[in-house]
């Protein structure tokens, strides 16, 4: 079973669609379901905000007995503050959703992971320190760098249970987040799923572009 956060739109919805189309069982987790998500005919759990501990406990209770083969931390937000228009509340909000969200969700559901399960974090190369040559985006970059190191710790902590953990960058993808600029979500998600299918436990704790090459931290 494949659990996806932020499954109601964007990259999350397209992942739910492509997994569904090939016959995988998906649980789409979101705040409010969309028609597109419902149309897949898969299980949908709505009312889950990844910043709410109470919601995540509710989610965990409703999944009792389920084994999660792929836990996909996808929900995320982006705002574009620079040094001259720094809005600390927006920086903190991105940290809450993009960094704390995957930490909370993965911690809440860790009991449902078994040998061979994989955890994915849909992060961004904007969280790469080596790759940052254009600056700005304080909240987004900081939150994605933070989630990358959380993912690295998950990989160490879960390896003895046979659970692999991988950080994935989807590329620049046409969704609401980018005002529909970038490559089509269908193309980016095909690459993401290929990585999800092929990454193995020996590679746990690594950071990949969906196109198939490793990214620097
Ligand atoms: N698009 C790109 O070019 C790009 C590049 C690099 C990385 N990414 C990453 O890819 C992931 C998906 O992005 P996207 O492009 O698909 O963005 P999107 O179209 O804006 O979708 C964002 C998703 O995250 C959910 N979400 C946001 N805040 C949430 C919260 N507090 N609790 C639960 N769900 C929440 C949204 O749900 P609601 O509908 O309820 O708001 C929505 O389902 C994000 O982590 C993003 O950082 C995207």
Number of domains observed in the structure of the chain: 1
Measured in Å, residue 160 CA sits from the centre of ligand 1 at 31
Q: Is residue 217 part of a domain?
A: no
Contact 98, 144 (CB under 8 A): yes
Predicted confidence at residue 133, as pLDDT, reads 96
Closest C-alpha to ligand 1, atom 26? 75
Residue indicated by tokens 């007995």 = 65
> What SS3 string covers the chain?
CEEEECCCCHHHHHHHHHHHHCCCCEEEECCCCCHHHHCCCCEEECCCCCCCHHHHHHHHHHCCCCCEEEEEECCCCCCCCCHHHCCHHHHHHHHHHHHHHHHHHHHHHHHHEEEEEEEEEECCHHHCCCCCCCCCCHHHHHHHHHHHHHHHHHHHHHHHHCCEEEEEECCCECCHHHCCCCECHHHHHHHHHHHHHHCCHHHCCEEEECCCCECCC
User: What is the pLDDT, as a whole number, of residue 149?
Assistant: 98
Question: Is 215 a domain residue?
Answer: no
CATH of the domain at 83: 3.40.50.720
Q: Which of 5, 8, 10 to mutate to test the pocket of ligand 1 (most atoms within 8 A of CB)?
A: 10
Q: What is the pLDDT at residue 110?
A: 98
> Residue 145: its pLDDT value, please?
98
pLDDT for 128: 98
The pLDDT value recorded for residue 103 is 98
Which residue from 52, 199, 183 is spatially nearest to 116, judged by alpha carbons? 199
pLDDT of the residue at 9? 98
Put the strands of the sheet holding 113-122 in their side by side order. 43-45, 26-29, 2-5, 68-73, 113-122, 164-169, 206-209
Q: Which among 23, 27, 22 has a CA at the least distance from the CA of 2? A: 27
Which structural domain, as residue segments, surrounds residue 19? 2-209
Give the Å distance between the CA of 41 and the centre of ligand 1: 22
Q: How many whole angstroms from 205 Cα to the centroid of ligand 1?
A: 22
**Could you tell me the distance, in angstroms and rounded to a whole number, from the CA of residue 40 to the centre of ligand 1?**
19
Residue 125 CA: nearest ligand 1 atom is 6
Does any domain span residue 214?
no
Q: Is residue 216 part of a domain?
A: no
State residue 136's pLDDT score. Answer: 96
How many whole angstroms from 123 Cα to the centroid of ligand 1?
10
Q: What is the pLDDT of residues 163-202, one digit of tens each?
A: 999 999 999 999 999 999 999 999 999 999 999 999 999 9
The alpha carbon of 97 and the centre of ligand 1 are apart by a number of angstroms equal to 9
Residue 21: inside a domain, yes or no?
yes
Determine whether the shortest distance from the Cβ of 176 to ligand 1 is under 6 A: yes
- Which regions in the chain score pLDDT beneath 70? none
CA 179 vs CA 41, 93, 117, 172, 183: distances in Å:
28, 20, 34, 11, 12
Please give the number of the atom of ligand 1 that sits closest to the Cα of 173. 3
């Amino acid at each position: 079973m494949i659990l996806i956060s932020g499954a109601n739109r964007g990259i999350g919805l397209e992942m739910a669609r492509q997994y569904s189309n090939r016959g995988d069982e998906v649980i789409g987790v979101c705040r409010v379901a969309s028609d597109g998500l419902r149309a897949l005919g898969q299980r949908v759990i709505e009312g889950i905000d990844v910043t709410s501990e109470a919601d995540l406990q509710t989610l965990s209770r409703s999944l009792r007995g389920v084994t999660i083969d792929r836990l996909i931390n996808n929900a995320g937000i982006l705002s574009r503050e620079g040094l001259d228009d720094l809005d600390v509340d927006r920086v903190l909000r991105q940290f809450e959703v993009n960094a704390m969200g995957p930490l909370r969700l993965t911690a809440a559901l860790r009991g449902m992971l078994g040998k061979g399960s994989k955890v994915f974090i849909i992060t961004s190369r904007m969280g790469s320190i080596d790759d940052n040559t254009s600056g700005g985006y304080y909240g987004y970059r900081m939150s994605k760098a933070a989630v990358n190191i959380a993912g690295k710790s998950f990989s160490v902590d879960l390896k003895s249970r046979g659970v692999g953990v991988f950080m994935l960058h989807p590329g620049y993808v046409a969704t609401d987040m980018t005002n529909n600029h970038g490559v089509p979500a269908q193309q980016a998600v095909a690459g993401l799923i290929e990585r999800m299918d092929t990454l193995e436990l020996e590679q746990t704790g690594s950071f990949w572009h969906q196109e198939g090459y490793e990214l620097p931290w």
